[in-house]
Amino acid sequence: DLALIKFEEEAILRLNQVDSCVISPGGSVVYSEKAMQHLKEISKIIFLNTSFRIIIRRLPNVRKRGIVGLRDRSLKELFEERMILYQKYADYSIKLKGKESIQETVRKIIEVCFEDNI
């Protein structure tokens, strides 16, 4: 787990110019304060906020997939732990009910970007 977190951190710290692009890091990136501070300096962070029930539905083969922290905690505990961190670092939060299509979600992200001139 620590090796992956370090790898994610190093990759993010190498990012410089991020105009007109979307960065979609793994969920464990929030465990690196350095990476998150760097992302906040070079971009705006939009948190796609959805329920635990929806997350579970979207995660096939949880044990085989490999999720940072799952060895030590339950998926529910990880969700609750990360939710606090996602909210801490987010510049914007978009509440999703899980019924939205990809196009609807993208439209909501674009609306946030245009409303705030991102």
How far is 35 from 15, CA to CA, in rounded Å?
Answer: 10
- Domain assignment of residue 31, given as a range: 2-115
**Number of domains the chain is built from:** 1
What confidence score (pLDDT) does residue 13 get? 95
Task: Tell me the CATH number at 95.
Answer: 3.40.50.300
pLDDT tens digits, one per residue of 61-82: 766 777 888 888 888 999 999 9
Residue 12 CB coordination number (10 Å): 19
Q: From CA 11, how far away is CA 34, in angstroms rounded?
A: 11
0.75 exceeded by the pTM?
Answer: yes
Residue 54 has pLDDT above 90, yes or no: yes
Q: How far is CA 56 from CA 22, 31, 53, 114, in A?
A: 24, 21, 5, 31
